[in-house]
Amino acid sequence: MTPSDPIERLIDAFSRLPGIGPKTAARLTYFLLRAPDELALELAEALRDLKERVRYCRRCFNVAEGELCAICADEHRDSRLICVVEEPLDVVAMERSGAYRGVYHVLHGVINPLENVGPEDLRIRELIERVQREEVDEVILATNPNMEGEATAMYIARLLRPLEVRVTRLAHGLPVGGDLEYADQHTLARALEGRHPLDI
């Protein structure tokens, strides 16, 4: 097969997605080849729609179709309470718990020197500006309980200290080394209830 072969191109494209190896990429490609045309075209349309219509909320950097995400636009949410998470998927996990009624701030990653990700690559500056600009009572640091998540939480806590805002961390009901997106709703609800001040 040549490099311009559509089958090879799609296998290569699929294999660049997280969690998809070459064998799974090949299976997906050959499945779509045999599938009805409508299924493949629906997938193509959904991908185009995703890239054309979905953007990041100008306030919290969660996914949104307009200027603000649905959570920031909801007047019933407590805007004085900001929960800082790593990724938009973490917002979905927190919302599933049903235990949180504040707003969010999505960092889009964590500080990770091994991957060449520094504070300037994340939405930390925007968080600090937001806390300075808005009336905020508490910032909950809900980064994952692993080395990078803990380091990012400590870094943010140091930056927030002069702003005289209460800074808390999710309680350690979450498994160390785990990700928020895989936690069940009861574990997340307990972790929210048991949050504590972050000592630095």
62 domain residue, yes or no: no
**What is the pLDDT confidence band of residue 174, given thresholds at 50, 70 and 90?**
low
| Number of domains, the chain | 2
Q: How far apart are CA 187 and CA 97, in angstroms?
A: 8
Start-to-end CA distance of the chain, whole Å, equals 58
Reported as a single tens digit per residue, the pLDDT across 52-69 is: 999 999 999 999 999 999
Q: Answer yes or no: do 122 and 190 share one domain.
A: yes
Domain extent at residue 109: 75-197
68 domain residue, yes or no: no
Q: Answer yes or no: do 11 and 101 share one domain.
A: no
63 domain residue, yes or no: no
Q: Answer yes or no: do 40 and 87 share one domain.
A: no
Instruction: Specify the pTM.
Output: 0.78
Q: Answer yes or no: do 183 and 94 share one domain.
A: yes
Q: How far apart are CA 5 and CA 25, in angstroms?
A: 15
The CA-atom distances, in angstroms, between 177 and each of 86, 138, 150, 155 are 14, 25, 10, 19
Reported as a single tens digit per residue, the pLDDT across 108-149 is: 999 999 999 999 999 999 999 999 999 999 999 999 988 999
Q: How far apart are CA 54 and CA 133, in angstroms?
A: 26
